Structure 1
Amino acid sequence: MPVAATRMPGQRWYTPYLFALPALVLFGVFFAWPAVTAIQLSVLHYDVVSPPTFAGMDNFTRMLGDERFWKSLLNSVLFLIGMFPLLVVLPLLLAVLVNQKVPGIRTFRMLYYLPVVTSMVAVGVAWEYVFHQQGVLNWMLTAFGLLDQPIQYLLDPFWALPALVLVEGWKSMGFYMMIYLAGLQTIPTSLYEAAKVDGAGAWVRLRRITVPLMAPYIAVAFTMEMLDSMQAFTSIYVMTRGGPQDATLTLGYYIWSAAFEHYEMGYASAMGLVLWVLMIGMAVLNHRVNKGQAVVA
């Protein structure tokens, strides 16, 4: 039977709500109020200078015929697909590696986590030198005979988006690795010991023990990867500004450009709502697919 809530002597009914008040205020200021404002702006024509005028569904109708909107949506999906192996698959393998008890492993974990706490602006500027026509990447590939002539990665419509995916993945990989590492440390070592006694090799233990028991953590990583990929902005702003030829124009960057470069606040808000709905839809879908899985205690 459920236990009835008890109140301490002298405790007033509103005391618990006072503890929750700071979080509710932050939620209202940074989520609820901006969301309501965005919904209002999405049905308006507003350029910051002139008074807003009612637009009805014009902003959403414009989206249907906007080639740059569809291009940015496609690039966002490609960005998401490209980030999947870098932020969902590879960090799990790295977590298995750094979960071993070997000398210096803590130092390795710290070094691998450093990019996570480094500013994306600094990371973007550094990687621009790597991808430069005379940069270290072209030098290495040319030295090993893999390239006949240097490639301008960030100026090439084919290579620009993969280059940004690589940068974003490199920076965030350590964070996802730590999520997996926390999950690995909840798996009883007795399972691996029993599997070794039965003759199971490292690949069999990974496939039959690690991956199934890490499924809840994989689901969390996948959800976060989807949300991060759809909102990618800073690396694009620093390194390509959506170019060349809109090859790196993602939905997040296009929304910012419409709002703060062209001052089309209504249209930007309408696209923002579409992005918001897409992210919620993907999160709900991922939750339903992984429904019923519980984190190993």
Structure 2
Amino acid sequence: MAIHVPERHAPSAAPRTRSRRSTSRDDRKRPQPGRIPGQRWYTPYLFPIPALILFGIFFAWPAVTAIQLSFFKWDAVSQPIFVGLDNFARLASDGRFWTGLGNSMLFLVGMFPLLVVIPLLLAVLVNQRLPGIKTFRMLYYLPVVTSMVAVGVAWEYVFNQQGVLNWILTGFGILDQPIQYLLDPVWALPALVLVEGWKSMGVFMMIYLAGLQTIPTNLYEAAKVDGASAWHRLRHITVPLIVPYLAVTLTMEMLEAMQVFTSVYVMTQGGPQDSTLTLGYYIWSAAFQKYDMGYASAMGLVLWLLLILMALANYRITKGRTVMT
């Protein structure tokens, strides 16, 4: 009897792999990590457009216009007249400009302890877990949100000849007779420095406080175990680790000191005898009292370049100094 042997079929060919073209097409259809399905490639670039428009309208365009005006003579009414570098040459012989620059530098020096040193010590204090410390933070920050005009008017009563400051100093026998501080060429500038520093101190304290809360507490605990005093902990742990925040406060202090205007406008108008004339007030006076827009723009450009140089110098000094000493 014949035996039927089933035929052996050749093994079927291996399944064909998809082409690279189809694979890449599928990959494109698959949602990419971190990307919203259906999102266009240009969608993220649409979000900064409103901010860029505002930046261009309120900063870039006025800055370019001010640079252009510094080469013209213009009274805001008649046609501008091109004068080249005459406005800048005029600065060299303008005594009031150098007086304003010198007073601005005195503001810079005088506000340094009020806005850089004292806020650091206050931040160390309010960083402690003490009863009512949050209320103290709020009260200390209150002058920051108060209008400088209101602050100036209030401090005028403090510095008045019959004000509370003279009452205290004469009551304790420190002064023989009251002083009219804002009318005295010797005391007017220190009085304004005190007002500016008192008002802005809360901002700088909060910046330091944010930096202090990033420092690990185990560093202080280890230092206490080793017998380090509070001064050594401040010097060798706190200060080196908040150098980036110190760089921010130094830059902000320079910007604020060199652009002081409102307190001078409200309390002294640059007097007496130009003893409180700052560069910011002199620029405003040239532009909106004398309508010398070109000269005011030239002074503003010089102030802008000076602030850039000071900020760069501050950056070079504080750059990389975060290593504990």
TM-score, with length taken from structure 1: 0.95
Aligned to 1:256: 284
Q: Deviations over 1:47-105 (max 9, x none)?
A: 01211111111100100000000000000000000000000000000000011101000
Task: Give the one of 168, 171, 194 matched to 1:140.
Answer: 168
Would the alpha carbon gap of residues 173 and 46 (structure 1) be closer, same or farther in structure 2, given more than 3 Å must change? same
Q: Deviations over 1:191-235 (max 9, x none)?
A: 111111111111111111111111111111001000011111111
Written as runs of structure 1 = structure 2, the 5 A alignment for 1:60-71 is: 60-71=88-99
Aligned to 1:83: 111
Is residue 19 from structure 1 mapped to residue 47 from structure 2 by the alignment? yes
Aligned to 2:318: 290
In the alignment, the residues of structure 2 paired with residue 13 and residue 103 of structure 1 have an alpha-carbon distance, to the nearest angstrom, of 53
**Residue segments in structure 1 that go unaligned for 5+ positions in a row:** none
Residue 23 of structure 1 and its aligned partner are, at CA, apart by: 1.1
Letter in 2 for 1:111: L
In the alignment, the residues of structure 2 paired with residue 231 and residue 295 of structure 1 have an alpha-carbon distance, to the nearest angstrom, of 33
Is residue 226 from structure 1 mapped to residue 254 from structure 2 by the alignment? yes
Is residue 157 from structure 1 mapped to residue 185 from structure 2 by the alignment? yes
User: SS of the counterpart of 1:232?
Assistant: coil
Aligned to 1:275: 303
| Contact preservation (8 Å) 2:116, 2:204 | yes
Query: Number of residue pairs matched?
Result: 293
Written as runs of structure 1 = structure 2, the 5 A alignment for 1:209-224 is: 209-224=237-252
In the alignment, the residues of structure 2 paired with residue 201 and residue 60 of structure 1 have an alpha-carbon distance, to the nearest angstrom, of 54
Task: Give the one of 53, 62, 68 matched to 2:81.
Answer: 53
Is residue 170 from structure 1 mapped to residue 223 from structure 2 by the alignment? no
Aligned to 1:42: 70
Residue 7 of structure 1 and its aligned partner are, at CA, apart by: 6.3
| Contact preservation (8 Å) 1:216, 1:295 | no
Residue 16 of structure 1 and its aligned partner are, at CA, apart by: 2.2
In the alignment, the residues of structure 2 paired with residue 181 and residue 247 of structure 1 have an alpha-carbon distance, to the nearest angstrom, of 35
Q: Deviations over 1:143-181 (max 9, x none)?
A: 111101111110011111110000000000011000000
Written as runs of structure 1 = structure 2, the 5 A alignment for 1:97-116 is: 97-116=125-144
In the alignment, the residues of structure 2 paired with residue 148 and residue 268 of structure 1 have an alpha-carbon distance, to the nearest angstrom, of 44
In the alignment, the residues of structure 2 paired with residue 192 and residue 14 of structure 1 have an alpha-carbon distance, to the nearest angstrom, of 49
In the alignment, the residues of structure 2 paired with residue 294 and residue 114 of structure 1 have an alpha-carbon distance, to the nearest angstrom, of 32
Greater C-alpha radius of gyration: 2
RMSD: 1.7
In the alignment, the residues of structure 1 paired with residue 108 and residue 180 of structure 2 have an alpha-carbon distance, to the nearest angstrom, of 23
Letter in 2 for 1:179: I
| Contact preservation (8 Å) 1:217, 1:295 | no
Aligned to 1:183: 211
TM-score, with length taken from structure 2: 0.87
User: SS of the counterpart of 1:173?
Assistant: helix
In the alignment, the residues of structure 1 paired with residue 65 and residue 34 of structure 2 have an alpha-carbon distance, to the nearest angstrom, of 40
| Contact preservation (8 Å) 1:98, 1:109 | yes
Letter in 1 for 2:71: V
Letter in 1 for 2:52: L
Residue 11 of structure 1 and its aligned partner are, at CA, apart by: 3.4
In the alignment, the residues of structure 2 paired with residue 113 and residue 11 of structure 1 have an alpha-carbon distance, to the nearest angstrom, of 44
Identity %: 77
Q: Deviations over 1:230-285 (max 9, x none)?
A: 11111110000111111111101100000000000000000000010011111111
